Amino acid sequence: MFDIILKQAELLPQLGGIWIAFLLVFSRVLAFVSVAPLIGHKSIPSLVKIGFASLLTLLLFPNIQAPPVIPVGYKFVYAIAMNACIGLIIGWVAGLVIEILKTAGEIINMEMALHAATLFDPGSQAQTTIIGKFFDMLALVLFISIGGVEKIIEGLHKSFTVFPVILFEINLNVPKLIAATAEIITMGFLLISPIMMVLLLMDLILGLMSRAAPQINAFQVSFSIKPSLGLILLLLILPALFPILVNILSNPMKFFY
């Protein structure tokens, strides 16, 4: 199979350098679109993603510097793979913030004793929690309202300057990428820390009550108090969280470059 691909790749010079460069750009854009937030959602059909990637490639291609040397044979296949890897990494970094916020919501859902309150997400084809889905939708709405889609597309366009189309080695700043990931995770936990602290304090109070009055079923009482208390705290804290959420979502690509 690989030999057939190489034989086809050796015929690519007949297509002309412009088409080969277009295919290289398209491979990066398509990989990015497949995992990027909102655009790469599982509920969006593959044909729609391919069509959007083709349109985006047509828009970006005139502004991208043409490669000085056109790869042929196995070098072309390798260049396609490298561009696809870059697109996947950029899309993953762009969607990391939203995934962290969704995970933070799922942690709150668990602390609010809403383990059984799950629903089926047709987009991800999996079970999800109510608070986790709420944070996911909230992050997506804020992401769209502050122009997040335009920013990640701008970041994709910038990637062709940082990482040229003809690239045989990806020089990522791995320590910076790890530090940025840790920063995003820390921000996510800081957002939910006030609610977590109050709910943990409630667990401590219920534990002391059960020791002082064993006839009180603290476990049953927690199921009636913690969900209501958690929702009240969420409504009270949410207005203060909006500026932080906007700051996190305003430019997700800053963690990459």
Range from 39-43, 78-82, 87-91, 157-161 carrying the lowest mean pLDDT: 39-43
What confidence score (pLDDT) does residue 2 get?
45
The domains of the chain are located at 2-255
Burial 177-213 (b: 16+ CB within 10 A, else e): eeebeeebeebbeebbeebbebbeebeeebeeebeee
Find, among 24, 158, 138, 44, the residue nearest to 93 by Cα: 158
Collapsing DSSP states into helix, strand and coil, what is residue 120? strand
Residue 8 has pLDDT above 50, yes or no: no
Confidence check: pLDDT of 148 > 80: no
Give residue 98's pLDDT: 80
pLDDT at 69: 61
Query: pLDDT by residue (tens digit) across 95-128?
Result: 887 888 888 888 887 777 776 667 777 666 677 7
CA distance 47 to 242: 35
pLDDT of 206: 75
Does residue 14 surpass a pLDDT of 60?
no
Confidence bin at 29 (pLDDT 50/70/90): very high
Q: Reply yes or no on whether the pLDDT at 257 is more than 70.
A: no
Is residue 1 predicted with pLDDT exceeding 50? no
Band the pLDDT of 30: cuts 50, 70, 90.
Answer: very high
Residue 90 has, within 13 A of its CA and on its CB side, a CA count of 30
Residue 16: is its pLDDT beyond 50? yes
For position 155, what pLDDT does the model report?
81
Which of 110, 100, 111 minimizes the C-alpha distance to 135?
A: 100
- Could you tell me if 103 and 128 are in contact, meaning their C-beta atoms sit under 8 angstroms apart? no
How do 126-129 and 118-121 pair as beta strands? antiparallel
Average pLDDT over residues 142-161: 81
- State pLDDT tens for residues 196-255: 787 788 778 777 777 776 777 766 777 777 777 778 888 887 787 777 777 776 666 555
Closest CA to 172 of 68, 79, 93, 70: 93
Average pLDDT, the chain: 75
